Structure 1
Amino acid sequence: MDQERSDTLNIGFGPAATYQKDKPVFEYIAEIAQQYPDKIALSFEDRQMNYRHLDETSNRIAHILIAEGIKPGDVIGLSLDRSPEMIVSLLAIIKSGAAYIPLDPEYPADRIEFMLEDASAKILFTSKKYQGKFNTQSQELYIEDILFKLDAQPTTQPQVTVKGDDLIYILYTSGSTGKPKGVQIRHSNFANFILSMKEEPGLTADDVLLGVTTISFDIFGLEMYLPFIVGATLIITDTVTAKDGRALLEIMRTQGVTMMQATPYTWRMLIEAGWDKPLPVRVITGGEPLAKDLADKLIPLCEELWNQYGPTETTVYSTIKHVTESADITIGKPIWNTQIYILDEQNNNLTDGSVGEICIGGDSVAAGYLNRPELNEEKFIDDTFSGTPGGKVYRTGDLGSFKENGEVNCLGRIDHQVKIRGYRIELAEIEYILSKQKNVRSAVVLPRTDMGPDLRLVAYLVLEPNEEDLVQQMESWRQALADALPEYMVADDYAVIDEIPQTPNGKVDRKALPDPRPFIVRRREVYVEPRTTVEKLVADTWAEFMGLEQVGVYDDFFELGGRSLVAVKIMARLEQETGKRLPLATLFEFSTVEKLAQRLQVDGKSITWESLVNIKPKGTKMPIYIVHGAGLNVLLFNALAMNLDADQPVFGLQAKGLNGIDKPLDNMEEIAANYIAEIVAKNPDGPYALAGYSLGGIIAYEMARQMIEAGRDVRMVAMFDTHITQTERYDSVIVKLFRRTRLLIMQLLYSFVLLAQDPKRAIEYKALQLKRRIIRLWWRIKGADQSQEGFFGYSNELDEENKRAMDNYFVQPVNVAIDLFRAKKKTFYMDDFKFMGWKPYAKKGVRVHDIPGEHNTIFAPPNDQEFAVVLQKCLDEAAVKKD
């Protein structure tokens, strides 16, 4: 093995090891057969096979395959029950020069038929038990017929040349289109993997490995080949035994098992079956995340616990970690000749601990997907990091980050992120916190669309046996999430079920999770029935729009899962029923049925619609005042506020005219002066930190200009992805025409750039732009004839007035520094991408802070957390400065 690279310079690089890349795996096995001819290689029930028999039988079957016309590069599908014949046949296929497709006979017939057709399998190697089961063009060979011909075949290995770039197998994984996709693994890919496993976690000729994995799961490759390249013994079980925890435990106790790999589900099954005393076995867990509570149970029961990670596309496992304590669970460091990169949206390698996509390069990266050139281009990108000519890096679709010691934290699937309540959230983060709670054995969180008009986050929980009150436990789960996460990530409902459904590979089967409603823990003990007509109106309205059976007087809007979209609908209904219009921000202060009902009973004329909203009013630090964007209200800023320091006050400024009564302002100077008046009335002495999102940034800039002229202490002016262009009001017709034509051309050209970078998102964004323009045009044509009742009517007028204010606003340079929080992902063209147009106007300069996400997602998780860290640092620095 070459000298390992410096950890400081090469974080994410596995050991650089030398091996014979053109030496196929079966040659290592043949060498072991020569070394240990009489040693038991394979054990199944009451049958045993030594290494000589294993080698010679596989050679004989290989000769039969060649006689049937098999040539190097051909593909053979193998569908046999778990048995010695299955193992020997797989070995024979690769000795013939062919590649195999492992097909579990229990899989649906149409799935197997698709794989055979997609791979153009020349032969289906199966049993007469399955004769006629599959509708395929592949020639069927039956193991019974082949065994009958064995004695007539030579025992020597066929003279077939197999090189490292030849395929050893094609393994099909689930595809997003509903059709599985075939991953092509080469002999060199597999040799690098299995030789690395030989060193760590390590296996010797004295070991006994128990194999329980289905043939169609890629980790089966470790079970089959690792024992055979070192001279160890492989015990395989039949399909029924592999699913029986008691039977497996008996084998472990009585047959000298020293190593076993399985998914966390199987390890839990063994513990539940009665594994309560230590055994001299090395435990390998993979396929799914290792939970802390499971690690706590396994560590004292086994000799060693190893956590491994890797997608099928990078040959079984790519990282490895010896877990010695449950507080230190990661997926570890890369195996031989493997590189791990954590990439952001611009393919920058994040070695500083930031979260990005786990991408894997090196010798174990597959040859790509079979017959899927477009997907290959998307998922197998050029390796521009290691300097390896022609190298590829696989994008796993998993989120991760580096620890300081070079180990990798895996944070779950990117595609398990869901957009809910306007935010993109990572379900694995919620599941992780729930799994750490007392009495929780396992947790899966799923968004449901069938429980009301809006998405609801449902936590499915399997509990340890306990006598504690379920309602109290539920409250503790909710509180644990509330303490660690923004409120929009707190699960709405908690369903206690007996077990989490699994796929045949032992992974969580999210599609099989039941309707949660019969299993949801309800807070009936604290339910108080509405006492007045108004309370009943509020409770019934909440129940209708939030998909709840009942709502009590003391139930909290946010705890029940209420968010901005449903708040709009609720407030519109309450306005329709009572004739009283309340600002959405009312819910910050009046969040229970009781309090909101009391607010509705106040004389409508006395309900104030102040622009200044208390989002997070308590704290001793310099407050920040954030001006609304085009969305007009300030509920959007709640997540950012909750991620700032506990002692950081945050206030929002919502648009005047949201009540549909006050006339909206169409002059930027007047809008700014109105907001300043409300701020100064509550905080006359300052200091002040001003910020604005999108359009709100321009309002905040004008507020800063006026406040500085008035001698007020403005310490910070922040733009949240705000782009500024000077008004065309004073330009000639020719200049206007030239500028608009140039802008239109540049926008069109930039659209092609966006399409190349992210076609799906570019199309979504352009469609949203078109929709907004249609709505604006419709409003201009029909607006005068429309009623201003309800939230959806007057918002268009406000939008028009804000645009008019912007079009008429002449931007003047101000003696101020601007902190520009710039979204890393661009979704529209600007003349100045670096400073977003602000440099000519900020006399003291523009400080740029790149934040994750795009314009519409900078407040969405996990972006909000990183945004808050950067913003808080700027606020703290600004608080101690005074010009």
Structure 2
Amino acid sequence: MPTPAVPDVLARLLVSTRNKPEATAVVVGESALTYREFDAASAALAARLRAAGVCRGQTVLLYLRQSVHTVVGMAAALRLGAAWCVVEPGHPVERIETLLHDVDCAALVLDDTQSPQVPDSARIHDAARALADAAPRPLAVLEVGGSQGYGPAPGAEPAPAVDEPGDLPAYIITTSGSTGEPKGIVVSRDNLAHMVAARRDEPGRPTFSTCRFTWDGSLLLLFQALCTGGTAVLADHRAIPDASACAGLVLRWRVAQLVSPPSFYRLMLPHLAGADAHLREVILAGEAFPEALIPQHRAVLPDTRLRNEYGPTETTVTVLAHPVSGPYGGKVPIGTPLGTTAAHVLDERLRPAPAGQLGELYVGGAQVAQGYTARPGGTAQYFVADPFSAGPGARMYRTGDLVRVNEAGEIEFHGRADGQLKVRGVRVERQAVEAVLESHPAVRQATVLGVPDEHGDTGLVAFWSPAGTAVALPDTRELIELCAAHLHDQAVPETFVTVGAMPLAATGKTDEAALLALLPDAPGRPSGGAGSGWTPLQSVVARLWTRVLKHDRFGLRDSFFSVGGNSRRVVELHLGLQREWPGAVRVGQLFDLDTVEAQAAALVAAQSRVRAGGNDGRPGERQ
């Protein structure tokens, strides 16, 4: 039976524009556009892209910090029958160059370099020009925002491509390959349209996503809102690491539906009290769902539904869903199929696994993506013929996830069949991280493991053994900088442990249990500088760093982000500072105040302001 046709997302977006032109369409941080404004902006940018040579089937690289410009760029690409690919500035240049060789990319869009809202604009502009010079085919570079807006005056725009073939690419999402090089996943317009059509959510409501546009989780509710006349609300690049700022957007826009990875939602919850007056549902996706989060959610938002969703990028965002109730005894199901999706739990001979037995999850249906860019071997390995479908050329995606069907008929996730992990909602290939570490001349062998913390959030721990010829061993900062230069943020290990040699199990493989036994139960106290010339306040700040970083190998002027800090850990650091000095610093400031010295100085300044205002207590305290 053929898959029923569904309307293209651009056609549905244009209907929303005709029906609700003055309604707010999209909000990213502090910037908002009505449907009329959004339509005009995307049409104007599409005209500029067409004039720059972008044609149907090509790709537009959105080299933008998370902002409303990114959403405009997505719609502009769709209007031309082109695809978009979002890559944020700061991404390793070598990885972007690999992508440009794999994809027929005709234009690169970046923020206006004269805008005071864009930090490091000159560096970003230079990087964009270098990418254009290194591209294997002509790559136009266009700036958006600033005085020129998105493009020419109304009247020069091309007609929107609403009748394009459904197999044209809509977007490309990059993930890490096992060698560390990025691989692009090509998702078609039909794939995206079926994902939106599969959702049975209430139309026309405000939605919110905590996700970056570089992760397809950001699309889960974005097009649901735009295609039904709702308001899509997202955090911008300044607010996205700030749980309090994200919660503020939910409250300000009276959001009805929210999507987030569980690890970040846990940080948002304390700031969402009272949101259940309008927040109807919270969707958690991208990571394993820790059952301990259920009572925490109910304590803050007793009237808000909770749902667990699952979907590899190769199957267009989300394909399984489970309404969370509990208790579950440790395994929250990932659910049952949405829309036209078919889920098969198969053994190694592609036979259905017996009920209750582990098998590998294969996903079929209209959301199975087209494959990997310039990687026919990888596409053939994971996108395989679907023997369960009567449709001509039907394929299913081999997820690599080990699952079983429980007694209620719900699918449960039980780990990976390979070395893949999900960290803060982003896919990480263990082998890719190990390969980067082993490229260091002083590292003989590396093993990277995912280790849950006390909240159930997965962090990466790298165990490494020195090379026999090594004269000097690298410190934690050097290894972090090496990984950061070749991998995305979530793939940089948070903890490094040196071992004399990798322990081996009886099978001859690395004994991962023995490695985990080497982890300390608790971090040590700050040493070195903390006892030699550091002020008492600096020592207190250092203890907070140690608690968050799980090590004390940093100096007074070391950057938090060069010694193991990341966007999740900076939020945890801010929570610790808030407990000690309420209101003294905002989480966004910690990206600039990134040393113990600078943070202690900011606390001193905050205390001085409080005293000058007549309050002898700590900043933010009531007397």
TM-score band, normalised by shorter chain: 0.5 to 0.7
Deviation at 1:351, TM superposition (A): 4.7
Q: Is the 8 A contact 2:346 2:359 kept in 1?
A: yes
Is residue 460–residue 494 contact of structure 2 (8 Å, CA) maintained in 1?
no
Question: Measured at CA, do residues 449 and 255 of structure 1 come closer, stay the same or move farther in structure 2, by a change above 3 Å?
Answer: same
Q: How does 1:135-150 map to 2 (within 5 A)?
A: 135-136=131-132, 137=135, 138-144=139-145, 147=149, 149-150=151-152
| Equivalent in the alignment of 1:345 | 348
Q: Distance in 2 between matches of 1:71 and 1:47?
A: 29
Which structure has the greater CA radius of gyration? 1
SS in 1 for 2:89: coil
The 3-state SS of whatever aligns with 1:122 is strand
Which protein has greater RCO, CA pairs closer than 8 Å, 6+ apart?
Answer: 2
**1 CA distance for matches of 2:161 and 2:415?**
46
Could you say if the C-alpha distance between residues 113 and 510 of structure 1 is closer, same or farther in structure 2, counting changes exceeding 3 Å?
closer
For residues 641-691 of structure 1, give each alpha carbon's deviation from its aligned partner in whole angstroms, at most 9, with x where no partner exists.
xxxxxxxxxxxxxxxxxxxxxxxxxxxxxxxxxxxxxxxxxxxxxxxxxxx
Cα separation, 1, equivalents of 2:35 and 2:385: 42
Query: Would you say the 8 A contact 2:46–2:158 is kept in 1?
Result: no
Distance in 1 separating the partners of 2:209 and 2:140: 30
Other-structure match for 1:667: none
Cα pair 2:53 2:106 within 8 Å, conserved: no
- Shift of residue 175 of structure 1? 0.5
Contact preservation (8 Å) 1:310, 1:316: yes
Residues 107 and 159 of structure 1, relative CA distance in 2, 3 Å threshold: closer
Structure 1 partner of 2:168: 166
Cα deviation per residue 1:69-95 (whole Å; 9 max; x = unaligned)? Answer: 222111111112222222112101110
- 1:154 is displaced (CA, Å) by 4.3
Give the secondary structure class of the aligned counterpart of 2:207: strand
Residue identity opposite 2:232 in structure 1: L
Separation of aligned partners in 2, 1:353 and 1:509:
33
**What is the deviation of 1:225?**
1.3
1:237 is aligned to 235
Match of 1:74 among 55, 58, 69: 58
**Among candidates 244, 251, 254, match of residue 253 of structure 1:** 251
Q: Following superposition of structure 1 onto structure 2, how do residues 285-296 of structure 1 map, counting pairs within 5 Å?
A: 285-296=284-295
Shift of 1:509: 4.5
* Aligned-pair CA distance for 1:42: 1.9
1:179 equivalent to 2:191? Answer no
* CA offset digits 1:268-325 (Å, max 9, x no partner): 2213x55455634221111111111122312443311111111111111111111122
Q: Post-superposition shift, 1:449?
A: 5.8
Map 1:215-234 to 2 at 5 A.
215-234=213-232
Aligned to 1:204: 203
- Partner of 2:96, secondary structure, is helix
Cross-structure match for 1:408: 411
- 1:384 paired to 2:387: yes
The residue identity in structure 1 corresponding to 2:310 is Y
Work out the percentage of aligned pairs sharing the same amino acid: 25
Matches of 2:501 and 2:50 in 1, distance apart? 67
CA separation in 2, counterparts of 1:75 and 1:45? Answer: 26
Cα distance change on mapping 1:253 and 1:345 into 2, 3 Å: same
> What amino acid is the match of 2:126?
G
The letter of the residue matching 1:259 is: Q
C-alpha distance in structure 1 between counterparts of 2:244 and 2:74, whole Å: 29
TM-fit CA distance, 1:67: 2.5
319 and 441 in structure 1: CA distance in 2 versus 1, 3 angstrom threshold = closer
Q: CA 1:28/1:369 → structure 2, altered by over 3 Å: closer, same or farther?
A: same
On the 8 A contact 1:172/1:180 being kept in 2, the answer is yes
CA contact (8 A) 2:465 2:501 kept: no
Secondary structure, aligned partner of 2:179? coil
- The runs of 5 or more residues in structure 1 that have no matched partner are 3-15, 420-425, 454-501, 519-543, 548-560, 567-883
Q: Distance in 2 between matches of 1:164 and 1:395?
A: 23
Q: Does 1:39 align with 2:18?
A: no
The equivalent residue for 2:493 is 512
Gaps of 5+ in 2: 114-120, 421-429, 432-447, 469-482, 510-623
Contact kept, 8 Å, 2:82 with 2:170, in 1: the verdict is yes
Is 1:58 the counterpart of 2:42 in the alignment? yes
Could you tell me how far 1:404 is from its partner in structure 2?
A: 2.9
CA distance 1:365–1:545, shift in 2 (3 Å): closer
8 Å contact kept, 2:460–2:495: no
Aligned to 2:81: 97
Secondary structure in 2 matching 1:291: coil
Distance (whole Å) between structure 1 residues aligned to residue 150 and residue 168 of structure 2: 30
Aligned pair in 2 of structure 1 residues 315, 443: CA closer, same or farther (>3 Å)?
Answer: closer
Shift of the alpha carbon at 1:146?
Answer: 6.0
Task: Give the aligned partner of residue 29 of structure 1.
Answer: 13
1:286-435 alignment to 2 at 5 Å?
286-302=285-301, 303-327=304-328, 329-416=332-419
Contact 2:47 2:158 in 1 (8 A): no
Residue 211 of structure 1 and its aligned partner are, at CA, apart by 3.0
| Contact kept? 1:183, 1:313, Cα under 8 Å | yes
Q: CA, structure 1 residues 363+160, in 2 after alignment: closer, same or farther (shift >3 Å)?
A: closer
- Superposed CA RMSD in Å reads 3.6
Query: How big is the shift at 1:447?
Result: 8.4
**Alpha-carbon shift at residue 101 of structure 1 (Å):** 1.2
Q: Secondary structure at the match of 1:388?
A: coil
Aligned match of 2:101? 117
Partner SS state of residue 171, structure 1: strand
CA-CA distance at 1:152 after TM superposition: 4.5
TM-score for the superposition, normalised by structure 2 = 0.65
1:786-818, Cα deviation, whole Å (9 max, x unpaired): xxxxxxxxxxxxxxxxxxxxxxxxxxxxxxxxx
For residues 621-640 of structure 1, the aligned pairs below 5 Å read none
Aligned length: 445
Cα distance, 1:160–1:246 mapped onto 2, change above 3 Å = closer
Q: Which residue of 1 aligns with 2:546?
A: none
The alpha-carbon distance between structure 1 residues 225 and 562, as it changes in their structure 2 partners (threshold 3 A), is closer
State the SS of the aligned residue for 1:57.
helix
Closer, same or farther in 2 for the Cα pair 1:325/1:76, shift >3 Å? same
Asked if the contact 2:461/2:497 (under 8 Å) is kept, the reply is no
How far 1:17 moved relative to its partner? 7.5
User: Helix, strand or coil for the counterpart of 1:238?
Assistant: coil
Change (3 A) 1:349 1:325: same
SS at match of 1:43: strand
Q: Deviations over 1:522-543 (max 9, x none)?
A: xxxxxxxxxxxxxxxxxxxxxx
Is 1:268 the counterpart of 2:269? The answer is: no
In structure 1, how many angstroms separate the alpha carbons of the residues matched to 2:211 and 2:373?
A: 24
Q: What secondary structure does 2:496 align onto?
A: coil
CA deviation vs aligned residue, 1:319-365 (integer Å, no higher than 9, x gap): 11111224261100111111111121111121522111111111000
Once residues 484 and 226 of structure 2 are traced to their aligned partners in structure 1, the CA distance between those partners, rounded to angstroms, is 28
Note closer, same or farther for the CA distance 1:386–1:449 as it changes in structure 2 (3 Å cut): same
Q: Which amino acid in 2 is paired with 1:385?
A: F
CA contact (8 A) 2:460 2:491 kept: no
Contact 1:101 1:171 in 2 (8 A): yes
**What residue is the counterpart of 2:127 in the other structure?**
133
Q: TM-score, normalised by structure 1?
A: 0.46
Q: Match of 2:65, as an amino acid? A: D
Task: Write out per-residue CA displacement over residues 714-733 of structure 1, whole angstroms, 9 at most, x where no aligned residue.
Answer: xxxxxxxxxxxxxxxxxxxx
Residue 257 of structure 1: how far off its partner (Å): 1.7
1:173 is matched by which residue type in structure 2?
T
Q: CA deviation at 1:162?
A: 1.1
Equivalent residues of 1:24, 1:163 under 8 A apart: no
Aligned-partner SS, 1:183 = strand
State the secondary structure of the residue aligned to 2:74.
helix
Distance in 2, matches of 1:442 and 1:69, equals: 45
Q: Give 1:65 shift.
A: 2.0
- AA in 2 matched with 1:337: T
What amino acid sits opposite 2:316 in the alignment? T
The one-letter amino acid paired with 1:369 is Y
d(CA) in 2 for partners of 1:249 and 1:443? Answer: 23
Structure 1: distance between partners of 2:410 and 2:95: 37
Shift of 1:441: 4.8
Q: Letter of the 1:314 partner, please give it.
A: T
1:316-715 equivalences under 5 Å are 316-327=317-328, 329-416=332-419, 441-442=456-457, 448=463, 450=465, 509=490, 511-516=492-497
Q: 2:606 aligns to what?
A: none
